[in-house]
């Protein structure tokens, strides 16, 4: 760099509009579409505005190739979009993140995205919140546990986790099983976007895959991943809310029944003493 280029600007800068800038950034999200393909930017903007249905307004600007700023004008709208996250356009996942304000557009990092995942064939004694949390932390970060089935006897354990978008999707995990050998529990991802069936990554399909070995075609292609990794979002069955509440009340009876209970007065295992006066006579005999 030249001498002039090495001079630092703004070390003692104090803007007169700093509060407004902070307020604006607090209502801002930055996002990108997880794809290597070109796409219709204007169509994406229109689709997102229609799907989000914000009660105020949202302005969308592209600051770099495939990097967008979403400016909201109402806190509720921003929260609604983040809580409804994940969003898609043309079967591609939209990644969103909050910013502090001092980031450069070129340094904004997108590393993970929330997913509801289903863990199948979980041992009966591990279908609970504690084990769900351990699984979630192991897979990338626990967010939420679906406790809509209080008994835990659904076909799968449903957990919301953070998934690393730069790594191949996990097809399952090994679970410790006491003194026996570890067991395999398969996984499915709800609302899974298009991904590569060859390498398992989310940002491309097998057509654009850059992880294919040169001689794979002559040796024969083996797809380790497939559409079976995806699952439709779970739907709440009609009338199930009442049934679940009723099951919760039944479950509380099981918990109460498992508490230690005193044996009866005449139970052979119990020691039943007489009146205190009788005990004194037995202990202190007359001279």
CATH fold label, 21-100:
Alpha-Beta Plaits (3.30.70)
Does the pLDDT of residue 164 top 90, yes or no? yes
Question: Pseudo-torsion of CA 224, 228, 230, 232, nearest 10°?
Answer: 180
Longest CA pairwise span in the chain (Å): 113
Q: What is the band of 34 on the pLDDT scale with cuts at 50, 70, 90?
A: very high
> For residues 86 and 138, what is the distance between their CA atoms, to the nearest angstrom?
21
| Domain boundaries along the sequence of the chain | 21-100, 112-231
DSSP result, 57-104: -EEEEEEETTEEEEEES-HHHHHHHHHH--EEETTEEEEEEE--S---
Which pLDDT score, from 0 to 100, does residue 258 have? Answer: 63
Q: Please compute Rg for the chain using Cα positions.
A: 30
Q: What is the band of 170 on the pLDDT scale with cuts at 50, 70, 90?
A: very high
Which pLDDT score, from 0 to 100, does residue 184 have? Answer: 96
pTM: 0.78
Convert the pLDDT of each residue in 80-121 to its tens digit: 999 887 899 998 999 999 999 889 999 999 999 999 999 999
> For residues 196 and 118, what is the distance between their CA atoms, to the nearest angstrom?
20
């Amino acid at each position: 760099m030249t001498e002039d280029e090495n001079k630092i600007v703004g070390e003692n800068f104090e803007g007169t509009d700093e509060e407004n800038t902070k307020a604006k950034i607090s209502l801002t999200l930055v996002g990108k579409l997880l794809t290597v393909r070109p796409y219709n930017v204007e169509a994406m903007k229109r689709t997102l505005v229609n799907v989000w249905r914000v009660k105020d307004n949202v302005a969308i600007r592209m600051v770099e190739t495939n990097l967008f700023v979403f400016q909201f004008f109402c806190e509720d709208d921003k929260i609604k979009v983040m809580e409804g996250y994940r969003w898609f356009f043309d079967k591609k996942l939209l990644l969103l993140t909050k910013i502090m304000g001092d980031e450069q557009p070129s340094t904004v990092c997108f590393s993970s995205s929330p997913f509801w995942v289903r863990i199948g064939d979980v041992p009966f004694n591990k279908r609970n919140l504690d084990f769900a949390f351990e699984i979630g932390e192991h897979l990338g970060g626990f967010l939420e546990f679906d406790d809509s089935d209080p008994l835990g006897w659904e076909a799968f354990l449903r957990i919301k986790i953070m998934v690393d978008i730069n790594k191949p999707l996990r097809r399952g995990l090994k679970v410790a099983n006491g003194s026996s050998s570890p067991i395999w529990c398969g996984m499915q991802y709800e609302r899974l976007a298009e991904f590569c069936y060859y390498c398992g990554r989310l940002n491309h399909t097998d057509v654009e895959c850059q992880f294919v070995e040169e001689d794979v075609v002559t040796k024969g292609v083996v797809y380790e991943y497939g559409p079976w990794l995806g699952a439709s979002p779970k739907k709440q069955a009609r009338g199930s809310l009442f049934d679940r509440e009723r099951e919760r009340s039944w479950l509380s009876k099981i918990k109460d029944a498992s508490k230690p209970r005193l044996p009866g007065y005449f139970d052979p295992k119990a020691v039943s003493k007489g009146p205190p006066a009788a005990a004194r006579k037995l202990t202190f005999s007359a001279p």
